[in-house]
Amino acid sequence: MTTHTKLNDEAGRLSALHRYDVLDTPEEQPFENVVNLVQQTLQVPMCAVSLVDEHRQWFKARRGLGVCETGRDISFCTHAIQQTDPFIVNNAEEDPLFMNNPLVTEDPHIRSYLGIPLQTPEGYNIGSLCGIDIKPRDFQPHEVEIMKSFARIVVDELELRQIASSDALTGAMTRRAWCEIAEGEIKRAHRYKRKLSLAILDIDHFKHVNDTYGHPVGDRVIQFLANLCIDEKRESDFFGRYGGEEFVFLITETGEEESKNLLERIRKNFQDSPIPIGGGETIHCSISAGIASLREKEFLPPLLERADQRLYQAKETGRNRVVVYSN
C-alpha cells in the first residue's frame, strides 16, 4: 500500500518527529555512516541528516557544517519537507527564494542543494537527507536515486532505534535510551532555563514477591507498575526501566511539588490496586520513590545520585513513601 505524504498537518508532523526521541542525542554510527557515503558518492563538501523541529533544524549527523543546528526560517530543509519529491536548488544565487538567504550570502556560501524528504511510515516528512555544494551544480538523476536509497536507510534506522529503545517486558524506555534522552532534556532545560525533575522508584520487598510467588508473578508486578506509570505520565515526560524492579521518571517543565504530587498519585494507586497473579488470586504491593529537581549547571549523574539518596531515605524510613531532595 502506498503511503500518502501528509504535508498539511504540522502538529502531526512534529508529533511524529518527537516520537523518535532523537533530537539533541549524541552521534550514532549508523547515521555517521550515511553522511560519509553521501559525501563520498556525491563529492560534496557538506551534507547532513537534518531533522526539522518547530523553530530549528537540527543535524543528527553532518559533514562540513560548523554548527549542529540553524534556525528553521533560513533552512533549505524546511522547504524540502514541504515536497513529495526531492528538492533541488541548482544555483542558489539565482534562485529568488534563496538569493538573499544568509546561508548563501555568508558562510557556508551554499550554491547548490539536494534534499530528500525523510518520510515516516505514516507519511510525515520529519526532515531531509541533504547534499550541499559551494558551486552551482546540476544533480544527475542517478545521484538523486542514490540519495533516495540513503534516505530510506536513515528512516529505517530511526525505526529500528525506536524499537531498540523499548524494554521488552514493560514497554518503558530501556536504560540506555532513557539516559540519552535525559541528557538531552537536561541540556535543553539549562539552555531555556526551564524546570525539570527526576524520580527513581522501585517496588518494596520485591525479593519477597519473587521468593514467595516465583519470577513470573514478579514480572506481572513489574508490568503492572510500568503500565500504571505510563498511563499517568504526560507526553513530554520520559519513563524508563533502570534495572530489575527499579524505574526512572524524567518530569519536564516541573518542579519538586508537582513532581511529588505525580509520584504520590502513582504510589497510592499502586498500593490500592489488587494485582492479578493467576488462579483468581491477587496481591498488593507498594513502591518507594526519591525525587530531585535540576540545579544550575547540574547534569545527569549528580541528579540521579541525589534522587537515589532520597529513594534510600524512603526505604530507611518505612517504605511506601515519596521523599523529595529539597534544594
Spatial strand order of the sheet with 112-119 comes to 69-71, 56-63, 46-52, 125-133, 112-119, 87-89
At what angle are helices 206-213 and 215-232 packed, to 10 degrees?
A: 140
Residue 88 neighbours by CB distance under 10 Å = 16
According to DSSP, the residues that pair with 129 across neighbouring strands are 49, 116
Q: Which residues contact 319 (CB under 8 A, 6 or more apart)?
A: 204, 205, 286, 288
Options 157, 180, 245, 256, the catalytic residue: 245
**SS3 state of residue 51:** strand
The residue written with cell numbers 550570502 in the block is 105
User: What type of residue sits at position 325?
Assistant: Y
144 class by beta-carbon count within 10 Å (0-12 exposed, 13-18 middle, 19+ buried): middle
Q: Which residues contact 163 (CB under 8 A, 6 or more apart)?
A: none
Q: Which residues contact 84 (CB under 8 A, 6 or more apart)?
A: 5, 7, 117
User: How far, in Å, CA of 285 to CA of 226, rounded?
Assistant: 13
Residue 21 neighbours by CB distance under 10 Å = 20
Closest CA to 18 of 212, 185, 147: 185
Cα dihedral 246/251/254/259 (nearest 10) = -30
Q: Which three cell numbers stand for residue 108?
A: 557556508
User: What type of residue sits at position 296?
Assistant: E
Annotated catalytic residue 245: yes
Catalytic residue IDs: 245
